[in-house]
């Protein structure tokens, strides 16, 4: 029996499942509409579609460092209970491995869940189908939100750190340093939440904004004009100390900055470090030099 586009569209409208899977189900069912619905239900796809609109505010951030790449992945679900299950964690970790191994992604800080949907899976045709099966098993909406994938540069060492049972994940790459140094810096990034790796990532517009705010505050406090500019410059220095990784006080030794520790243990070349930090459920598109963009439902 010929499977028409209208038949596919009708099945999609009735089940909420994607067009390709609907067509496969109709082919398998010989064009029988009700039988095709059963096929989708057996695969767990119809159940996944019915839960797709439900909020996913819990989940995990997982990290993976391999010879090919360093990866962070955020996968969301509805409850902390499901996030702590072996099935959910196993899915997230396997996904991180597959993203690390997929050279086609190259280097990206803003990979979307939809980008990973077509990857192959050990027990299913694709990640998208694996997600649908997991939804059917765990009875919650599940969403691959985003991922970052860093490719090693010459002489660069990667380390990862995951804090709070998967609520914060960090990757750090340091040229010239060792893995122990990268690990210490990753732990610092998790704790101190810097926005920039170095001063060079802070734009002139950001600096001018900080100065404008400081000038306005100083003027409203009645400070003389010759003092206002010094106050503005001091505000900028404080901004650097609070937001730039290498300028922050190192959490393991607050008498030193991260930059000083990095130079002591890895040399000046190690200052050309980089990092990615994911916090579970955070608003995306923060004002960083290389923001992590929103993921999409897989």
Question: What are the start-end ranges of the E strands in the chain?
Answer: 58-65, 70-77, 108-112, 143-150, 156-163, 168-175, 249-250, 253-257, 274-279
Question: What are the start-end ranges of the E strands in 20-80?
Answer: 58-65, 70-77
Residue 50 lies in a domain: no
Among residues 171, 204, 201, which one has the least CA distance to residue 185? Answer: 171
Q: Taking a C-beta distance cutoff of 8 angstroms, is the pair 132, 112 a contact?
A: no
What is the count of structural domains for the chain? 3
Residue 258 lies in a domain: yes
For residues 107 and 207, membership in a common domain is answered with no
- Place 298 in a pLDDT band, splitting at 50, 70 and 90: very low
For residues 123 and 177, membership in a common domain is answered with yes
Vertex 162: Cα angle to 254 and 91 (nearest 5): 175
**Comparison of pLDDT for 203 and 41, the residue scoring more:** 203
Q: Coil, strand or helix: which one is 190?
A: helix
For residues 124 and 149, membership in a common domain is answered with yes
pLDDT in tens, 191-250: 999 999 999 999 999 999 888 888 888 888 888 888 888 898 899 999 999 999 999 999
CATH code: domain of residue 94 = 3.30.479.20
Number of H helices, E strands in the chain: 12, 9
Output DSSP code: residue 286: -
Q: Taking a C-beta distance cutoff of 8 angstroms, is the pair 115, 293 a contact?
A: no
CA distances 98 to 61, 66, 69, 248, Å, are: 15, 11, 11, 34
Instruction: Please enumerate in sequence order all residues whose Cβ is within 8 A of that of 225, keeping only pairs 6 or more positions apart, or say none.
Output: none
For residues 77 and 135, membership in a common domain is answered with yes
**Comparison of pLDDT for 208 and 295, the residue scoring more:** 208
Residue 49 lies in a domain: no
CATH code: domain of residue 10 = 1.10.8.10
Within 10 Å of residue 64's Cβ, how many Cβ atoms? 24
pLDDT in tens, 82-116: 999 999 999 999 999 999 999 999 999 999 999 99
For residues 265 and 136, membership in a common domain is answered with yes
Domain hosting residue 238, numbered range: 203-243
CATH code: domain of residue 213 = 1.10.286.20
For residues 189 and 87, membership in a common domain is answered with yes
Give me the chain's average pLDDT, please: 88
Residue 287 lies in a domain: no
Measured between alpha carbons, how far is 253 from 263 in angstroms, rounded to an integer?
14
CA distances 205 to 209, 215, 264, Å, are: 6, 15, 32
Residue 274 lies in a domain: yes
For residues 127 and 264, membership in a common domain is answered with yes
Residue 159 lies in a domain: yes
pLDDT of res. 44? 64
For residues 88 and 116, membership in a common domain is answered with yes
Measured between alpha carbons, how far is 188 from 258 in angstroms, rounded to an integer?
9
pLDDT in tens, 136-166: 888 898 999 999 999 999 999 999 999 999 9
- Place 48 in a pLDDT band, splitting at 50, 70 and 90: low
Q: Coil, strand or helix: which one is 257?
A: strand
For residues 83 and 182, membership in a common domain is answered with yes
Residue 297 lies in a domain: no
pLDDT of res. 145? 94
For residues 214 and 179, membership in a common domain is answered with no
For residues 258 and 238, membership in a common domain is answered with no
Measured between alpha carbons, how far is 62 from 276 in angstroms, rounded to an integer?
12
Q: CB burial class (10 A; 0-12, 13-18, 19+) of residue 36?
A: buried
pTM: 0.76
Question: What are the start-end ranges of the E strands in 13-107?
Answer: 58-65, 70-77
Residue 182 lies in a domain: yes
For residues 208 and 225, membership in a common domain is answered with yes
Residue matched to tokens 């609520």: 167
């Amino acid at each position: 029996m010929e499977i028409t586009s209208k038949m596919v569209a009708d099945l999609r409208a009735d089940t909420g499942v994607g067009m390709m899977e609907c067509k496969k189900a109709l082919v398998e069912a010989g064009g029988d509409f009700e039988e095709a619905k059963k096929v989708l239900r057996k695969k767990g796809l119809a159940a996944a579609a019915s839960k797709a609109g439900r909020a996913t505010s819990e989940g995990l951030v997982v990290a993976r460092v391999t010879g090919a790449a360093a990866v962070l992945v955020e996968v969301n679900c509805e409850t902390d209970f499901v996030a702590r299950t072996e099935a959910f964690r196993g899915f997230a970790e396997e996904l991180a491995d597959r993203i690390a191994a997929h050279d086609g992604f190259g280097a990206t800080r803003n990979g979307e869940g939809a980008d990973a949907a077509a990857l192959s899976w050990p027990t299913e045709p694709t990640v998208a189908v694996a997600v649908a099966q997991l939804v059917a098993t765990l009875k919650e909406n599940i969403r691959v939100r985003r991922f970052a994938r860093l490719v090693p540069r010459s002489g660069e060492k990667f380390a990862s750190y995951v804090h709070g049972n998967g609520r914060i994940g960090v990757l750090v790459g340091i040229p010239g340093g060792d893995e122990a140094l990268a690990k210490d810096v990753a732990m610092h990034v998790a704790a101190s939440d810097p926005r920039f790796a170095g001063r060079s990532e802070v734009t002139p517009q950001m600096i001018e904004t900080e100065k404008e705010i400081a000038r306005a505050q100083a003027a409203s406090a009645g400070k003389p004009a010759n003092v206002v500019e010094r106050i503005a410059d001091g505000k900028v220095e404080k901004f650097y100390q609070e937001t730039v990784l290498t300028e922050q006080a190192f959490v393991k030794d607050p008498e030193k900055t991260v930059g000083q520790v990095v130079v002591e243990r890895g040399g000046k070349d190690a200052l050309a470090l980089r990092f990615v930090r994911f916090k579970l459920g955070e608003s995306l598109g923060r004002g960083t030099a290389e923001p992590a963009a929103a993921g999409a439902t897989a």
